[in-house]
Amino acid sequence: MKTYFFKRLIAMIITLWLIITGTFFLMHSVPGSPFNEERTTNEQIQKNLESYYQLDKPLLVQYGNYLMALVKFDLGPSIKKSSQTVNDLLGRGFPVSFELGFYTLIVAIISGITLGVVAALRHNGIIDYLSMSIAVLGISIPNFVLATFLIQQLAVNIPIFPVATWSSPKHMVLPILALATGPMAIIARLTRTSMLEVLTQDYIKTAKAKGLSPVKIVFKHALRNALLPVVTVLGSLAASILTGTFVIEKIFAIPGMGKYFVDSINNRDYPVIMGTTIFYSAILIFMLLLVDLAYGVLDPRIKLHKKEAK
Amino acid sequence: MEKILQIKDLHVSFSTYGGEVKAVRGVSFDLHKGETLAIVGESGCGKSVTSQSIMRLIPEPPGKIHGGEIIFKNNDLIKLKEQEMRKIRGANISMIFQDPMTALNPTITIGEQIMEGIVQHEKLTRTQAKRVALAMLKLVGIPNPELRLKQYPHQFSGGMRQRIVIAMALVCRPDVLIADEPTTALDVTIQAQILELFKDIQKKTGVSIILITHDLGVVAQVADRIAVMYAGRIVELGTRREIFYQPQHPYTKGLLQSVPRLDIEMEELIPIPGTPPDLFSPPPGCAFAARCPFAMEVCKRVYPFKTQKSNKHHVDCWLQDERAQKLASS
C-alpha cells in the first residue's frame, strides 16, 4: 500500500507539472497583456508595471520563477486586485465554495442514488417514468434557469427563503437545490442503468433463492455492485462542484471562488489564471485518487496493490 | 415411498411482445424423499421454468403461473404469499444455478454469503452460524475452510465455487435441492467430482434432488428416476433403467440415439430432424408429431393419453395405444 501511494504521488506531481507547464505557455501565447485595456496609462507606466510584475523578462525565466515560488506554495500576487495575493483570493473563496459544493454533493448523491434505485426496482412502472422524467428535466434545465425560477417562486412569490447571499443555513437552501439538480439527475440515471444490469445477475437470483428479503437483496447484494460506475463520475463531478460554480455563485451573490475562474481570464490576470487552474487540477487529481481508493473498497477484485501473489 | 413434493398439472406462461409463450403446459410429477429425479430435455423445453416455478422465482410479470398445484408439506406453494414463500426458499427448498462463476456475489466474502442464509432462517448467533458454515464447507470438500471463509469468490476456481454454491444451498438442511444444470459450466473432470459430491451429500443428509440437465451422461450417473420433457410437457417418466433400456417415446429414443456412447458400437450419431415447435401457438396434438418418424394422423390432432408401462414408468404417446400398429422394436 505504501509503494502504491508513493507511486501515485509521483504520478500526481508529474501530472500537475504538465498541467502547469501547458497552462503557463498557452496563457502567454495568447496575444495581449493584463495592462492592454487600460488606455489611460502611458507607455512608461505600462513598462514600469510590466517590470514590477516581471512580465518584461524572457518567458522561460518567468516560468522558472513561477515554479520556484510554487514550490513554496506561493501563487504570486493578483495583478488586477492590487495588494492581494492569489493565495488570499483562494483562501477566502474556496471555503465558501467548498461548503456550498459539499452540501450540494451530499444532496445530489443521496437523492440521485435513491431515485435511481427506486426507478430500477419499479422498472417500467409509474415511479420509474416519474423519476426518470425528473432526471431528464434535471439534466436539460440549465442551473441558472432553475436558480432564477427558484428565487422567483420560493423567495419572491412565496418568501420562504432569502433571495441571495451566504450567511445562514436558510440562505443555503436555494443555491444547493439549484446546483444539486444536475448532478442528482446524472447520478440517478447512472444508478438506474447499472442497478438494472446488476438485478439481472445470477447472484441476485441466488440471493432470492436463499429467501432473503427484497430490502436485503437490494442494499446488500445489488447496490454495492451497482455503485462502481456512479463512483467513477463522482470524482470529476465533485472536483468541479467543490471548486465553485461561476453562475450559481454569481446569481446568489455567494463569495466563492467560481468568479475568479472567469474574471481572471477576462482580465488576463496571469497569476490568478494559473492559481485557479492549479488549484482545480490539484483537487481533481485528488478526487480521482479517492475514486480509485473507493473502487478497492467497493470491489475486492480491484486490487490497488499486490499484497499477496496469487 | 414418501412423497416430499407433488407437482400437479402446472401451467406457466410468459407474455412477450410477440404474444404469450406457453413454456410449461401441464407438468405433473412427484418427488420422493431421498431420491434424485432428473428432468432432461433440450433448451427451451420448460425444464428450468418448471424448477423456478417450484421456488416461485419466475419473474412476474412477464411470467405467470396459470394453474396447477405444487404441494409441499401439505401447502400449495402457488397459493402462498411472497413472505411465506420466502421462509421456504433456502430453508426447505433451495436451488443451485448453472454458472458458479456468476452465482456468487463478487463483492461479499464467501463466509458472509453462506452465513446470511442461516441467519435469515434460523435463530442463531453469528458465532453459531459461522460454525455451521465451517462444517458445511468441510462437507462439500473445501480444504482450509477457516481461511476460505474470509475470501472472495474470485479467489476460488470454478469447481470450488460450485462446491461453495452447493454448501450455500444446503446450509439450512433443506428437504429439496433443485440443481439447474449444475455441471454444465464445469469441465469434465470437475463435473465428475461435483456429481460424486451430490451423491455423497444425498447419502449424508437424505435430501431429495431435482436435477435439471440436458446432459444424459450426467443423468446416467446420478439419477434414480428420469423425466423427459418436450415442449412444456413431460412426455415420459420412469426409472433410470427404464428410460435408458426401454425408452418408449420416440423423442426419448431420439435423444438417446443422439448421444455418443462408448459401451455399444454405433455407426454414427442420429440427430433428431427438425426443431421444437413454436410455443406461442403449440400444436393441439403431440408437440413432437412434426419431427416424429412414426407420427400418425391422430398425433397431430389430439394429445395422447398417459400410458402406464409399469408402476413407475409412464409415457404420453399414441403408439402405446392398443389400437396403434405395433412398432418394430428399434
Other CB atoms within a 10 A radius of the CB of residue B274 amount to 10
Architecture of domain B3-92+172-320: 3-Layer(aba) Sandwich (3.40)
Q: What is the pLDDT of residue B325?
A: 64
Higher pLDDT, B316 or B322: B316
Across the interface, of A206, A216, A301, the residue whose CB is closest to B97 is A206
Cβ contact B103–A206 (<8 Å)? yes
Across the interface, of A202, A208, A210, the residue whose CB is closest to B102 is A202
Q: How far apart are CA B159 and CA B27, in angstroms?
A: 32
Q: Is the peptide bond preceding residue B62 cis, with omega within 30 degrees of 0?
A: yes
Residue of A nearest to B54 (CA): A209
Taking only the tens of pLDDT, chain A with its 310 residues reads 778 888 889 999 999 999 999 999 998 888 777 776 656 667 777 777 778 777 778 888 889 988 888 888 888 888 777 778 888 888 888 888 888 999 999 999 999 999 999 898 888 888 889 888 888 888 898 888 998 998 888 888 888 888 777 888 888 888 898 899 999 999 999 999 999 999 888 889 888 888 888 888 888 888 888 888 898 888 888 888 888 788 888 888 888 888 888 888 888 888 888 888 898 899 899 999 888 888 888 888 877 655 543 3
Chain A residues whose C-beta sits inside 8 Å of any chain B C-beta: 201-203, 205-213, 216, 220-221, 224-225, 298-301, 310
Q: How far apart are CA B195 and CA B204, in angstroms?
A: 14
Residues of A in contact with B107 (CB under 8 A): 224-225, 298-301
B207 touches chain A (CB under 8 A): no
Give backbone dihedrals phi and psi of A17, rounded to 5 degrees, phi first. -65, -40
Give backbone dihedrals phi and psi of B96, rounded to 5 degrees, phi first. -120, 130
Cβ contact B90–A211 (<8 Å)? yes
β-pairing, B63-72 vs B3-16, is antiparallel
Note the pLDDT tens digit of each residue in B218-230. Answer: 888 888 999 999 8
Residues of B in contact with A207 (CB under 8 A): 105
Across the interface, of B94, B106, B120, the residue whose CB is closest to A299 is B106
Query: Which residues, in sequence order, are bridge partners of residue B211?
Result: B38, B179
Considering only residues 95 to 134 of chain B, which have any Cβ-Cβ distance to chain A shorter than 8 Å? 95, 97-99, 102-108, 116-117, 120-121
Cβ contact A299–B155 (<8 Å)? no
Burial letters A39-76, b for 16+ CB under 10 A, else e = eeeeeeeeeebeeebebeeeeeebbeebeeebeeeebb
Residue of A nearest to B87 (CA): A211
Query: Which residues, in sequence order, are bridge partners of residue B238?
Result: B226
Mean pLDDT of B50-56: 89
Q: Write the CA distances from B120 to A139, A148, A214, integer angstroms.
A: 41, 51, 12
* Domain ranges within chain B, ordered by starting residue: 3-92+172-320
Cβ contact B168–A206 (<8 Å)? yes
Query: Chain A closest CA to B18's CA: distance in Å?
Result: 18
Residues of A in contact with B102 (CB under 8 A): 201-203
Q: What is the pLDDT of residue A309?
A: 38
Q: Write the CA distances from A242 to A52, A141, A174, A180, A256, integer angstroms.
A: 34, 21, 17, 12, 10
Cβ contact B117–A210 (<8 Å)? yes
Note the pLDDT tens digit of each residue in B243-274. Answer: 888 888 888 888 888 877 777 776 777 788 88
Residue of B nearest to A124 (CA): B61
- The set of cell numbers assigned to A77 is 500576487
Other CB atoms within a 10 A radius of the CB of residue B154 amount to 15
Q: Is the peptide bond preceding residue B61 cis, with omega within 30 degrees of 0?
A: yes
What count of residues does chain A have? 310
Chain centroid, CA B144 distance in Å = 31
Q: What is the pLDDT of residue A43?
A: 76
Residue of B nearest to A221 (CA): B105
Residues of A in contact with B90 (CB under 8 A): 209-212
Among A210, A216, A218, A297, the strongest candidate for a mutation testing the B interface, having the largest count of B CBs within 10 A, is A210
Note the pLDDT tens digit of each residue in A205-240. Answer: 888 888 888 888 888 888 888 888 898 888 888 888
Residues of B in contact with A225 (CB under 8 A): 105-107
- Cβ atoms of B116 and B128 closer than 8 Å: no
Residues of A in contact with B88 (CB under 8 A): 211
Cβ contact A211–B86 (<8 Å)? yes
DSSP sequence for A124-171: TSHHHHHHHHHHHHHHHS-HHHHHHHHHIIIIIIS-SS-SS-SSSHHH
Across the interface, of A213, A216, A301, the residue whose CB is closest to B154 is A301
Note the pLDDT tens digit of each residue in B91-128. Answer: 889 998 888 888 888 888 888 888 888 888 888 888 88
Among B57, B58, B87, B105, the strongest candidate for a mutation testing the A interface, having the largest count of A CBs within 10 A, is B105
Residues of A in contact with B95 (CB under 8 A): 209
Residue with cell 406457453: B22
Q: What is the pLDDT of residue A17?
A: 93
Across the interface, of A201, A208, A221, the residue whose CB is closest to B57 is A208
Question: The complex's ipTM?
Answer: 0.81
β-pairing, B233-239 vs B225-230, is antiparallel
Among A206, A231, A301, the strongest candidate for a mutation testing the B interface, having the largest count of B CBs within 10 A, is A206
Residue with cell 402446472: B10
Q: What is the pLDDT of residue A299?
A: 83
Could you give all domains of chain A from N- to C-terminal order, each with its CATH number?
A: 94-267 (1.10.3720.10)
Q: What is the pLDDT of residue B329?
A: 47
Cβ contact B87–A211 (<8 Å)? yes
Mean pLDDT of B187-201: 85
Residue B327: pLDDT over 60: no
Q: What is the mean pLDDT of chain B?
A: 84
Cβ contact A210–B154 (<8 Å)? no
Rg, C-alpha atoms of chain A: 24
Residues of A in contact with B154 (CB under 8 A): 300-301
Cβ contact B106–A220 (<8 Å)? no
Q: Write the CA distances from A202 to A48, A252, A258, B103, B265, integer angstroms.
A: 73, 49, 47, 5, 41
Q: How far apart are CA B228 and CA B29, in angstroms?
A: 11
Mean pLDDT of B14-26: 85
Instruction: Please list, in sequence order, all residues whose beta carbon lies within 8 angstroms of the beta carbon of residue A285, skipping any fewer than 6 positions away.
Output: A12, A15, A16
Q: Write the CA distances from B287 to A108, A154, A155, B290, integer angstroms.
A: 56, 68, 71, 7
- Cβ atoms of B44 and B276 closer than 8 Å: yes
Q: What is the pLDDT of residue A269?
A: 84
Could you list the beta-strand ranges (E) of B173-320: 176-180, 208-213, 225-230, 233-239, 306-310, 313-316
Mean pLDDT of B71-95: 86
